[in-house]
A and B are shown apart, each in its own frame.
Chain A
């Protein structure tokens, strides 16, 4: 079945760039998503990339996709304390069902 893996924790200093990595196994993925979860809240869509794209940039966010290696990354430029949250990588296969990783907790140190 599908599997999505992420590292559990990342700590960066305010103003630095953060890079959160994800690997997935489903070769039929159509879209790959990044969601953000703040404490006590649901998942909020940050950005997504179509599986035939290599890169997508959206303001401070850059998504890189290596389809050959099934590797996805999210780069956050100029990381702020408000970026502290759990980030989930999601892999959309058939019928829009999204398989998520365990989530990477980003801690931003002032």
Chain B
């Protein structure tokens, strides 16, 4: 058990809809990362937060947004969903301080857009 909790585990929704994915980081970790895993693209970095502030941005679409709250949990909001957004969305956390501190991953949220 990595200590990172993601909810829900599965989500099925229709095109055009909006969903929110939730992540609770490992106790003590200040940094949260969101990744998207699809069959053809592999594991793509979306965005990173550290102690409530955005720290790094990757291949995140404008239809997607995220935030990290004062209690350090994070939410990833996906709107105007398209079929191609179907993927596994992973959250990971790290302490955000030590250079060699590895990422600890949750088990992911599987999003299916129909």
Seen from chain A, the residues whose Cβ lies within 8 Å of a Cβ on chain B are: 30-31, 33, 35, 40-45, 48, 50, 88, 90, 92, 94-103
Contact = CB atoms under 8 A, between A and B. Distances in A.
A100 B102 contact: no
Question: Taking chain A's interface residues, is the majority helix, strand, or loop, or is none over half, making it mixed?
Answer: strand
Interface residues of B, number: 28
Nearest to A100: B43
Contact of A42 (B42, B99, B108): B108
Interface of B: 2, 4, 31, 33, 35, 41-43, 45, 48, 50, 55-56, 58, 90, 92, 94, 96, 99-108
B42 A100 contact: yes
Given A42-B2, A103-B42, A95 B102 contact: no
B56 A95 contact: yes
Nearest to B108: A42
B100 A50 contact: yes
A80 B108 CA distance: 26
A42 B100 contact: no
A96 B107 contact: no
